[in-house]
Amino acid sequence: MDFDYKSISYAQKLSNLQNYYHTSVAFAQALNITRMTLIAWNDNPQKIKVKNQDKIDLLWCQYIFLPNVSNISEVVKGIELGSFLFEPAIMDKTLRQMAAGSLEIETGTQEVDFDAIVLDNTVPNNFHATSVAEVQNIHYLTQEIAQNFQAEITLQQIKDWHKVLMRGLINNAGEFSTKQRVLPNVDTQLTHPNDIVEELELWVKKYNKIKYLSDIAKSHYHFEMIHPFSDGNGRIGRLIVLAQCLQIDIKPPTINNSNKALYYILLEYAKINPTPLAYFFQACSE
């Protein structure tokens, strides 16, 4: 199963989506652009800006890629961890890439800038103190979780991780949100603030004995739909995935800007079938 949608040209993606929408007007409306802009893109795909590439990727993953994998339903075991924990250089690089990628899809911070801060202790130009804190926090916490992955994932542990992750970034780091959260462009009702504790306690009990990557995919979707914090839910959710993978001796996935469109589409689809998300995780760990 090929998850490398970035290898497909935007000329091909535009053609596929044009066939899906049937008319240029409908396709342009879906992209929130004019028909003339769409014609210009078809004539010269190299002129498509990154933010519009992201829009095209999301639509392509949702309407072209997803239908081809949506009916797959089976247990996905994941790739064995091997000697990962016993090769410090490989482990450190992988964890750094995971942390950088997780932050990149949320804030746009690029891996080269991430590495400059954590490896060279250099602050890139135009970086604010909050951006530096975001990098340092997730880098430290990723390393900490990997070193203590056998620790039980409890409600309090999740709060403690969030406190470290969002330290200096929000006033309620480590505390559950007291307001209703909303996911953009997703027709899903998140857990009501009054029910967060009860729902998370249920989540902890349900996923305390996971066996396969399929279980982790289900767990990840469930956690993101609880969305217990005011900010940082995606990063915490992916850190939990890291801990869970290490606990069952399989390689954790690296998710970043190069695969985020498919990640978001498969994460939303996991409410119907988590198997494609599990296969995606497996592909991102190879």
Name the amino acid, one letter, at 178.
Answer: T
Q: How many other CB atoms are there within 10 angstroms of residue 121's CB atom?
A: 7
Query: In angstroms, how far is CA 153 from the centroid of its own chain?
Result: 19
The helix/strand/coil state of 80 is strand
Whose tokens are 């769409």? That residue is: 38
Name the amino acid, one letter, at 66.
Answer: L
Query: Alpha-carbon distance 255 to 238, whole Å?
Result: 9
- At residue 72, φ and ψ (nearest 5 deg) are -75, 130
Radius of gyration of the chain (CA): 20
Beta carbons within 8 Å of 77's beta carbon, 6+ residues apart? 212, 213, 214, 250
Active site residue 128: no
Query: Alpha-carbon distance 198 to 194, whole Å?
Result: 8
Query: Alpha-carbon distance 285 to 244, whole Å?
Result: 14
Query: Alpha-carbon distance 230 to 123, whole Å?
Result: 27
- Read off the tokens for 212: 């396969």
Could you give the residue numbers annotated as active site?
Answer: 227
